[in-house]
A and B are shown apart, each in its own frame.
Chain A
Amino acid sequence: MSLLLIVALPFLGALLPGLMNQAGRASCAGVTFTVTLAAFVGLLTNLPAVMAGDLVMYRMDWIPSLGLNFTLMLDSLGFFFATLILGIGLLIITYARYYLAREDNMGEFFTYLLLFQGAMVGIVMSDNILLLLVFWELTSLSSFLLIGYWKHLPEGRQGARMALTVTGMGGLAMIAGMMILGQIVGSYDLSVILQNRELIQNSDLYLPALILILMGCFTKSAQFPFHFWLPHAMAAPTPVSAYLHSATMVKAGIFLMARMWPVLSGTPEWFWIVTSAGMITMVLGAVIALFKHDLKALLAFSTVSHLGLITMLLGTGTTYGAMAAVFHILNHATFKAALFMSAGIIDHETHTRDIRRLGGLRHLMPITFVIATLAALSMAGIPLLNGFLSKEMMMGEAYDTVMGGNTWIVPTMAVVGSLFSAAYCFRLIGHTFLGAKRDDYPAKPHDPPAGLWLPPAVLVVLVVAIGVAPFLAEPAVKAITSAVIGNVGDVYDGRFKIWHGFVPALYMSIVAVGGGLVALALFNPMLKIWDTVPRPEAKTIFDAVIRAAVRLSRALTLPLHNGAFTRYSAVMAVTVVVAGCYAWVTGTVGAPTRSVQPAGAIEIAGWVMLVSATLGMVFLHRNRLLALVLIGIVGLMVSVGFVFFSAPDLAMTQITVEVVTTILLLLALNFLPNETPVESTVLRRVRDVSVAVAGGLATMALSYHYLLRDAVTAPISEFHLANSYKGGGGTNVVNVILVDFRGFDTFGEIIVLGIAAVLIYALTEALLGGPVRARLLNRTPDKPLAGDMHPMMMVVLTRVLLPVVMMVAFYVFLRGHNEPGGGFIAGLIASIGLVMQYMASGYSWATQRQRYPHHGVIGAGVLIAGLTGIGSWFVGKPFLTSDFAYVRIPPFGKFELATAAMFDLGVFLAVVGAVMLSLDGFSRLARRAHVKDSDHAMDINPARSEKEALKGQGV
């Protein structure tokens, strides 16, 4: 199966559980299982190629200019992790089906789980590191959703936030690290990067890149000092803990260290950072785990400890260490997932996870006892179980590791870590299952249904099988190791054996296991000491850091961003003017290249009207209606200006937009106060006037200098003028640019317009659905209403005009390609025709006669425009390539048929729908309860008294 499909399957499948939610829990889990199984089988079809040592690749260019391509690769390392993810995923899905309670929303759970699974498979199969980063962040997000799945639990929410903060921050650091790495090598493809060990390690940027990438790995894999989030993530449902926080996600950091091993490892920096972090984590996690009473917390810290062990092995930089790490990843995934699931079973059946309240469960839950004991013994490193084998390798590697000339520190730490590890394993078995049966369990324990114990049992079978017959795992581990180390060295060629003879590793193991037993015997006195010794609490520190960060950002932003819009605008205006002045003073201004054109009387008259209307607005703006009239004049003069300076299309657009804008503002003014009160002080007005005048003078100077000079380089418009007819089939170049040359822009713009209209609709709905509604209904108008709400003359006139307006719109639309006009203008004209009906005959009369909802019209417009664009794909051309032909229709003569006309139709419909939907929102606010909308358009009430009129009772 194609790699793309394997990665895509979980993402596509994530849509299904939500849909299947209604169909019941079994089908919901079933569909998730099937999706995962399909991906798993697809993965297995690639096994022969991977076994043959081939690199399976999939490549699709995404943004090649940024080096971001959708390239996937599969080698034995990726295959190994993908098997873990999908294989354990199958077990977890089965387990979760029985684990989740009836009240839990199973569809939501499995959707998140599949999202996570897809992201994880994406990480291990990415060839492009930028793509890898995308998947990396996706795992952080889906893990956040899964940890916080039980939204009613505050620990769940806090744990989710903490996990997201820590891993997200690490992810950000890693993005920077990967960028640097890509810069050093000159490629973002892993397959290229991995070939450039010398280049990377000799670069000056090696250390920053290493530290940043390791930040990402350490946060994800919970390495000291970022280990504290993992125990808090245990608030998640147990299947999540077993899957994400033991078997897969926390191994993503380890995976990446293994992936980058050939190019990053082997330097002193790598050795010191990675080995020490791993070693500290291993010992610290093991010690804390011993004293945890919550089963899941114990397992969480033990996971931290084992991840530290693997990290330490990778840090040594030897090929033997890498092999031990790979082997331990496999072993840890099997026994730890089994243990988590067992802990979940105990929690599920006894209703507690507190070890102090358990004990003696071996008779009550024999199956669980066997599973958990075998897994825990393996973790403790007891022979004939798989944990023993990799732990022996670790001991051997630790024994050979010299740190800063010191030969004993690493082996000692390894023994101490293993000792505590053995101790908590023994405690887990001893204090949970062994001992006397108690009679105070919160619930009566018994073995769970097979659906719960089978998944861990499958894993324990593997634990025993590998433990007894290590040669089963040997070829796979060696193949994976060779993928990890690349061409840096050779894989260890000795056999995997249970008995190596009397070697130092054996003595170290004996000391660890024996010490573990002693530690368990001395547990109670040790616990007393532990409880009295003060320790830093990671969560408190984390919370304090977060609080400090919030305080700092508040202190920085609030004084600047205090909610005073007027201040923002003043600051912005001054900043722009100052920046412009600086550019003016420091730059050079070329000589004018164009001569000043003379101005005649008409031009000066137009200018006077525009300027006096603007000044009038500024001085009289407190009278809002008057200001509205004056801005209408400004708009009109601007349109006249467009006509004068050879822009007929602009003039037509401006004047029609002016009409609808004025209607809109009038509708709004209906609710707003009529006057703007005098509030600002004289000083403040002086300040505002000076800022405004400075801004005005600056723009004026800029425009004047600009108008007298030609562009430095020739504008691209020549191309448009030359190709408009030849390539676009139209003589109106502006329209051809809109629907053809820059059609994609226009497509985006009609979508924006549609979104704006829908937003207005949503705001109206929200207002009318809230407390505002009552106030609107009970409001009495502050102006006397006219006696005839729908004057006869206007009604008759608008109805006669409607077909005429529509015809004009149609005409303007048709001629748009060759003469001034087009979809935008035609759409505005048509809307004006429709709005006139609303105004003259009333909202309800007009609405009753409205055939198609405005949203639908917008949608149809965008759809038509989009489909026209897609149509060009079918003839193998890029999106929105236009075509045209001339046809002769007998009675009329020659016609041009252009696909651009279809596109323009989409524009037309979107504009009509958007304008109508916006105005519709405002009109709906204006309807009141006690004024009945009459179905009769011409409802004059001559008998109405002035008093009634003032109360606004029209009918």
Chain B
Amino acid sequence: MEILVASAIGILTAGGLYLVMRLRTFPVILGVSLLTYAVNVFLFASGRLTIGAPPILTDATTYTDPLPQALVLTAIVISFGMTAVVVMIALGAYLGTDDDHIDDAPGRGEDVV
């Protein structure tokens, strides 16, 4: 089980890194999203993997670690806000210059108006 989760984190990271190094804004945004998944799962896994013991107090004797869950929960919501802002900036740049390259190269992306 551990190897499955670890490899999933690794593959998400690798995919995210590759996409982040692309040249246009949209793949980079998707890449950042993949990296967000990887980071969130990694943080979540810092509570170690426990099956069938949610941190809802009952008569049970063991519970999984609730703290990473609380941290990751807000991280998920915040990452939505971050994605939205980045997408908006990318969109504004594209609409303003008719160019969605991510790198700032001389002579490219002058204002088309």
Contacts and interface: CB of A to CB of B under 8 A. Distances in A.
Given A565-B103, A614-B11, A647-B44, A756 B82 contact: yes
B17 A692 contact: yes
Contacts of B91: 668, 671-672, 922, 925
A746 interface: yes
A664 B83 contact: yes
B69 A734 contact: yes
Nearest to B100: A672
B100 to A, nearest CB: 6
Interface in B7-54: 7-15, 17-30, 33-34, 37-38, 40-42, 44-54
A676 interface: yes
B79 to A, nearest CB: 8
A731 B57 contact: yes
Given A627-B27, A716-B67, A918-B81, A703 B45 contact: yes
Interface in A628-678: 628, 631, 634-635, 638, 641-642, 644-650, 653-654, 657, 660-661, 664-665, 668-669, 671-673, 676-677
Interface in A685-711: 688-689, 691-693, 695-701, 703-704, 706-708, 710
Contacts of B84: 664, 756-757, 760, 918
Nearest to B9: A703
A293 interface: no
Contacts of A627: 26-27, 30
A710 B49 CA distance: 11
Given A665-B87, A771-B113, A824 B74 contact: yes
A914 B81 contact: yes
A534 B44 CA distance: 72
Main secondary structure of the interface of A (DSSP, over half): helix
Given A703-B5, A710-B48, A914-B81, A725 B57 contact: yes
A711 B6 CA distance: 17
Nearest to A695: B17
Contacts of B22: 566, 621, 676, 680
Interface stretch (A165-173, A426-434, A591-599, A794-802): A591-599
Given A599-B1, A646-B55, A731-B58, A704 B6 contact: yes
A717 B94 CA distance: 46
A715 B67 contact: yes
Nearest to A753: B81
Contacts of A624: 26-27
B10 to A, nearest CB: 3
A756 B66 contact: no
Contacts of B73: 649-650, 653, 734, 738, 824
B77 A696 contact: no
B45 to A, nearest CB: 6
B38 to A, nearest CB: 7
A635 B49 CA distance: 19
A817 B41 CA distance: 24
A631 B55 contact: no
B66 A680 contact: no
B22 to A, nearest CB: 7
Interface in A763-793: 763-764, 766-767, 770-772, 775-776
A661 B36 CA distance: 13
Main secondary structure of the interface of B (DSSP, over half): helix
A611 B82 CA distance: 25
Contacts of A536: none
A820 B82 contact: no
B110 interface: no
A921 interface: yes
A66 B53 CA distance: 43
A717 B88 contact: no
A62 interface: no
B41 A911 contact: no
B54 to A, nearest CB: 4
B29 to A, nearest CB: 8
Contact of B77 (A570, A673, A753): A753
Contact of B104 (A563, A596, A716): A563
Interface in B78-103: 78-85, 87-92, 94-96, 100, 102-103
A413 interface: no
A733 B52 CA distance: 15
Nearest to A577: B17
Given A603-B4, A627-B27, A716-B67, A653 B77 contact: yes
A807 to B, nearest CB: 22
Contacts of A631: 30, 33-34
A819 interface: yes
A61 interface: no
A573 interface: yes
Given A725-B57, A914-B81, A918-B84, A691 B34 contact: no
A641 B72 CA distance: 14
B41 to A, nearest CB: 6
B37 A638 contact: yes
Contacts of B66: 717, 720-721, 724, 733-734, 737
A680 B23 contact: yes
Nearest to B49: A645
B13 A737 contact: no
A635 B30 CA distance: 12
B17 A646 contact: no
B70 A734 contact: yes
Interface of B: 1-15, 17-30, 33-34, 37-38, 40-42, 44-58, 63-67, 69-70, 72-74, 76-85, 87-92, 94-96, 100, 102-105, 111, 113
A-B pairs with lowest CB-CB distance, top 8: A696-B14, A700-B10, A563-B104, A756-B81, A704-B6, A692-B18, A731-B57, A737-B70
22 contacts: A563-B105, A565-B104, A596-B1, A599-B3, A599-B4, A611-B7, A617-B34, A618-B18, A634-B34, A645-B50, A646-B54, A646-B64, A650-B72, A672-B94, A679-B23, A697-B10, A707-B5, A724-B57, A738-B70, A767-B95, A771-B111, A771-B113
Given A562-B104, A760-B84, 11 more contacts: A565-B103, A611-B8, A615-B15, A660-B80, A669-B26, A672-B91, A691-B21, A704-B2, A717-B47, A724-B57, A745-B74
